[in-house]
């Protein structure tokens, strides 16, 4: 099988990128079984090495021991998210336990741990680089946090917990996706389209025609379909129907996730206690910049004191405005987006839709590349010779402008499709670093769900979708510009509450005329985006900022409550959520709980970590203040940011990297200053 399995061959494609067009679902399981067999042999060689444990024959050897397995699983789980389908989800339920058990075999192996501990015990006298010391420290902690010090009975139970969790996450994600896909709103009467922009109507007609429903309009819960509907549709009953369907995802239907949630939090809590922690949050936060649950609660409470009164003011103003223009006496959740858009139009004299004609995706993508080229001295080139997983996917190569050196490969996948996970993300098919004996450059992808092109128009983005692109490209540049030795330390392999800094900071440039002028031009006439429209966007930057901030810390609070509470006392998911965020909710819950489709914390890496979006916003606001002070494309600032922070990945503690870049710790008030909730600092 290995001779004919593309997952087990060294790829002959550029940058050894995966041969996606040759990979079939039947290749995954045999490839994983063969890769585990290879990895076991490598680990046995490490264990049986008669030489005294040293960094090279233990830590570096372990870093390289599972290279093939890492390659295969990265392809599988990335395709699970961006393609989905019953066959891959069925495979996930088989593959999860197999890889989980293998991971447990390694992390619970006494002989391997003894070798790691022996190197760790002599670390102060070892002649190790900073990166090697980080890898050693991280590896030692991974063994301890993985159960290496437990007795046999506890190790056995830990293995069972890890195996169960390995399938529950993918099942949760699949339920959320399939529940969303099971809903569609078919409109037959053109009057029900009143208020909707032409782009939304054309996209809905296109979506209907794709399902052999010509002459009708089809709306789904994909973001490019859902968001314009609840933002613009005059028909309040239909807005409510869409809103309820979205809020009810994976709740009360055949894809209900409530039992999965209770199992996941119970297992994570049990695992934390087995390992000697108070709860899952304490276990997670030990390896975060925040360090403790108390620090996270202090952080969330500080933001709450700023956001809640601002959000209450936002809602009161919205209710007053809605009444003035003949709206309902009492606003409901499905009214907020609709009247907020109308109020924004009144206050700032523009609509979110005014931007679309100036933001065709191809122009925006080229402009985004030009932005990074100007910032970091790099060049993107569309590439031939790669294989892709879907016809919508494009491949690019990144080069250093001065030296001409190849930096890495980037795949882009921009449009919704059946089976694809909602939202947007950056991922890696191979991190930069040591691979099969030599330093290899990374293979990175960004995956989004943007407005699709129609037969009449190209993909025209909202400004929000532009910020999403810059956000995900910020993650991608973190991965692409990595310059370390070990893949474990590369790119986005950093402490989780630091990972959003390189992405979120890029969103700031999307509000700057100098940047928008690089790409925002009318898709038909080529006319540059009017300066007054950019100014209106800037004037509206603080509009409903309290409302948006309160929502984010509400989700962060919900996450922390799920992972600090006693799971044995939680009987009802909705009731627990209501109690958890009662002081942060300005409406009673009128549909399913957010928890039921909260894939970030139940099927992703954000459990006890959702606060990190806001945590990293403090860092990004402080970072961008430097560029505002020095110049948006100041070469010295950009070089320091690239070389002292981005390229280092996780090779040093993030607080150290940030101080090396900025010359000091981040100013904790930078975020609230940016959002207009604190006065700006006076110039020195």
Report CA torsion sign: 267, 271, 273, 278.
negative
d(CA 26, CA 643): 42
Chain centroid to Cα 446, Å, comes to 10
Q: Closest Cα partner for 339 from 239, 449, 421, 483?
A: 239
Q: Supply 683's token pair.
A: 């110039």
Q: Supply 407's token pair.
A: 């930096």
* DSSP 8-state secondary structure symbol assigned to residue 528: B
Q: Closest Cα partner for 621 from 504, 476, 478?
A: 504
14: number of Cβ within 10 Å = 15
Chain centroid to Cα 74, Å, comes to 16
- CB-based contacts of 333, cutoff 8 Å, min separation 6: 243, 247, 587, 590, 591
**CB-based contact 373:401 (threshold 8 Å):** yes
Chain centroid to Cα 493, Å, comes to 13
Beta bridge partners of 629: none
- Give the per-residue SS3 of 370-439: HHHHHHHCEEEEECCCCCCCCCCCEEEEEEECCCCCEEEEEEEECCCCCCCCCCCEEEEEECCEEECCEE
Q: Supply 467's token pair.
A: 């910020």
Q: Closest Cα partner for 451 from 259, 140, 645, 202?
A: 202
Active site amino acids = 472
Alpha helices (H) in 441-518, listed in sequence order: 463-480, 501-507, 513-516
Rounded to a whole number, what is the distance in angstroms from the first to the last CA of the chain?
69
499: number of Cβ within 10 Å = 24
d(CA 301, CA 295): 10
Q: Closest Cα partner for 617 from 545, 564, 559?
A: 545
Cα separation values, 419 from 178, 389, 425, Å: 8, 13, 15
- CB-based contacts of 205, cutoff 8 Å, min separation 6: 216, 217, 454
d(CA 417, CA 530): 34
Place of tokens 């894809």: 255
* DSSP 8-state secondary structure symbol assigned to residue 597: G
- Give me the phi and psi of 347, to 5 degrees please: -75, -35
- Give me the phi and psi of 270, to 5 degrees please: -65, -40
Q: Which bin fits 251, alpha (ψ -120 to 50), beta or left (φ > 0)?
A: beta
For β-strands 443-447 and 406-413, DSSP reports them as: parallel
Instruction: Return the half-sphere exposure (C-beta side, CA atoms, 13 A cut-off) of residue 379.
Output: 10
d(CA 406, CA 402): 11
d(CA 610, CA 500): 11
- CB-based contacts of 189, cutoff 8 Å, min separation 6: none
Report CA torsion sign: 10, 13, 19, 21.
negative
Cα separation values, 410 from 17, 99, 106, 374, 451, Å: 10, 27, 32, 18, 21
Alpha helices (H) in 484-562, listed in sequence order: 501-507, 513-516, 531-539, 545-562
């Amino acid at each position: 099988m290995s001779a004919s399995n593309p997952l087990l061959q060294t790829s002959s494609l550029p940058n050894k990128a995966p041969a996606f067009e040759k990979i079939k679902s039947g290749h995954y399981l045999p490839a994983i079984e063969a890769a585990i067999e290879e990895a076991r042999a490598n680990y046995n060689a490490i264990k049986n090495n008669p030489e005294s444990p040293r960094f090279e024959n233990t830590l570096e050897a372990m870093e390289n021991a599972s290279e093939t397995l890492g390659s295969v699983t990265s392809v599988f789980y990335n395709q699970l998210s961006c393609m989905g389908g019953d066959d891959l989800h069925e495979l996930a339920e088989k593959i999860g336990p197999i890889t989980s058990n293998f991971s447990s075999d390694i992390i619970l192996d006494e002989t391997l741990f003894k070798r790691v501990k022996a190197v760790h015990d002599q670390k102060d006298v070892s002649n190790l680089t900073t990166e090697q010391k980080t890898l050693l420290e991280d590896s030692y902690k991974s063994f301890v946090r993985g159960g290496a010090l437990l007795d046999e009975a506890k190790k056995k139970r830990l293995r069972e917990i890890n195996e169960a969790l390995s399938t529950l996450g993918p099942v949760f994600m699949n339920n959320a996706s399939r529940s969303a896909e099971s809903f569609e709103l078919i409109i037959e009467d053109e009057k029900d389209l009143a208020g909707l922009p032409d782009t939304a109507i054309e996209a809905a007609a296109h979506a209907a025609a794709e399902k052999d429903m010509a002459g009708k309009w089809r709306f789904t819960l994909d973001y490019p379909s859902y968001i314009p509907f609840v933002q613009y549709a005059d028909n309040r009953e239909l807005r409510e129907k869409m809103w309820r369907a979205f809020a009810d995802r994976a709740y009360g239907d055949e894809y209900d996730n409530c039992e999965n949630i209770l199992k996941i939090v119970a297992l994570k809590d049990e695992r934390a206690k087995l390992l000697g922690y108070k709860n899952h949050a304490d276990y997670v936060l030990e390896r975060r910049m925040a360090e403790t649950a108390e620090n996270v609660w202090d952080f969330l409470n500080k933001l709450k004191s700023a956001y809640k009164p601002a959000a209450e003011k936002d809602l009161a103003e919205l209710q007053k405005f809605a009444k003035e223009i003949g709206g309902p006496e009492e606003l409901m959740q499905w009214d907020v987006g609709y009247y907020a858009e109308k109020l924004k139009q009144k206050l700032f004299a523009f609509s979110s839709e005014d931007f679309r004609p100036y933001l065709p995706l191809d122009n925006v993508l080229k402009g985004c590349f030009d932005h990074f080229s100007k910032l970091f001295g790099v060049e993107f080139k569309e590439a031939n010779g790669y294989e892709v997983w879907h016809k919508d996917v494009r491949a690019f190569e990144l080069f250093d402008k001065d030296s001409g050196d190849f930096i890495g490969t980037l795949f882009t996948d921009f449009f919704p499709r059946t089976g694809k996970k909602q939202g947007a993300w950056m991922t890696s098919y191979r991190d930069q670093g040591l691979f099969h004996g030599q330093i290899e450059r990374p293979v990175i992808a960004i995956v989004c769900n943007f407005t699709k092109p129609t037969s009449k128009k190209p993909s025209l983005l909202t400004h929000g979708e532009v910020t999403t692109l810059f956000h995900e490209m910020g993650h991608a540049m973190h991965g692409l510009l990595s310059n370390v030795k070990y893949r474990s330390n590369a790119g986005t392999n950093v402490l989780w509450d630091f990972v959003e800094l390189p992405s979120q900071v890029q969103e700031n440039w999307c509000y700057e005329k100098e940047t928008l002028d690089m790409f925002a031009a009318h898709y038909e006439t080529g006319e540059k985006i009017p300066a007054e429209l950019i100014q209106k966007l800037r004037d509206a930057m603080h509009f409903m900022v309290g409302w948006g901030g309160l929502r984010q810390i509400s989700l962060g609070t919900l996450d922390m409550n799920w992972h600090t509470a006693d799971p044995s006392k939680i009987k009802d998911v909705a009731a627990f959520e209501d109690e958890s965020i009662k002081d942060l909710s300005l409406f009673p819950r009128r549909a399913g709980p957010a928890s039921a489709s909260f894939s970030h914390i139940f099927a992703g890496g954000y459990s006890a970590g959702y606060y990190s979006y806001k945590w990293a916003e403090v860092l990004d606001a402080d970072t961008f203040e430097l560029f505002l002070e020095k110049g948006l494309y100041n070469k010295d600032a950009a070089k320091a940011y690239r070389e002292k922070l981005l390229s280092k990945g996780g090779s040093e503690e993030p607080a150290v990297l940030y101080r090396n870049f900025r010359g000091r710790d981040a100013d904790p008030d930078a975020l609230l200053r940016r959002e207009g909730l604190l006065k700006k600092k006076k110039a020195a």
